Amino acid sequence: MSILVMMRHGQSEWNKLNQFTGWVDVPLTEKGVEEAIEGGKLIQDIPFDVIYTSTLIRAHMTLMLAMLHHHSGKIPVLMHKGEGQQEEWGQIYCEEAKEKCIPAYTAWQLNERMYGELQGLNKAQTAEKYGADQVKIWRRSYDTPPPNGESLEMTAQRTIPYFEDEIVPHLRDGRNVFISAHGNSLRSIIMDLDGLSREEVVNLELGTGVPIIYEFLHGSFTRKELSDLS
């Protein structure tokens, strides 16, 4: 058995301003920092073997803050795989130091859905201009992208293969995994794990800084509550 924990990043500066963010690389607010720390406290007793995150700073901040009070005392270390000299010169040569670290891998495939020409726009003002129903379709539907952006279906075409090829093998080998990512990249993965329909995923909303936990056993994922693990 192994454990998968996924967490949407804490509130970002553009979440606070109610703006479409997508791939714009904005940081957390003070509230987002607090959410990440509090979310991390909920999973501080779950031992992690490997961490995955997107390339965006709000997800990086969340994973580091979430691990701040982890009872293992281990430090997440970003692994710069395939980044030339950064990877070569970032090697750890002390085995004792390695034992106190958790490798954290970044992947653009886990980035938020790219919102195209909506990025930076205020959501309420966009709803006034295009209608609330249209904006809800752009934000929550499965196969309708915003102008020059990605639909959830298009997002799933990058997140799910990456999840299956890079993350699931760790779970199969009995390793516990923590993913710090985004509302839509995680929605696409959860849709697949829970077998949600296109209609059901419209109502799937992920809170900021809230851990989502799955048990992986005999090739199957089962959603769990924190109380189930105590």
∠ at Cα 220 (176, 173), nearest 5°? 40
Angle at 14 between CA 11 and CA 17, to 5 degrees: 100
Domain borders along the chain are 2-229
Q: Is the pLDDT of residue 94 over 90?
A: yes
pLDDT for 121: 97
CA 115 to chain centre: 17
Quote the pLDDT of residue 227. Answer: 80
- The residues that are catalytic are 9, 112
Q: What is the pLDDT of residue 32?
A: 98
Give CA separation, 5 vs 134, 178, 222, in Å. 32, 5, 12
Class of 2-229 in CATH: alpha beta
Task: Compute CA distances 185 → 44, 62, 126, whole Å.
Answer: 24, 15, 22
Percent of the chain with pLDDT over 70: 100
DSSP-derived secondary structure letter, 12: B
As a residue count, the chain comes to: 230
Look at residue 229 and tell me whether its pLDDT is greater than 80: no
Average pLDDT, the chain: 96
For 153-182, what is the mean pLDDT? 98
pLDDT score for 166: 98
CA dist 49 to 2, 59, 177, 178, Å?
10, 18, 6, 8
Cα(189)–Cα(177) distance, integer angstroms: 14
For the segment 179-225, what is each residue's pLDDT rounded down to a tens digit? Answer: 999 999 999 999 999 999 998 998 899 999 999 999 999 999 999 99
pLDDT category, 230, cuts 50, 70, 90? low
Helices 132-140 and 123-130, axial angle in degrees (round to 10): 120
Give the span between the Cα atoms of 36 and 67, in whole angstroms.
9
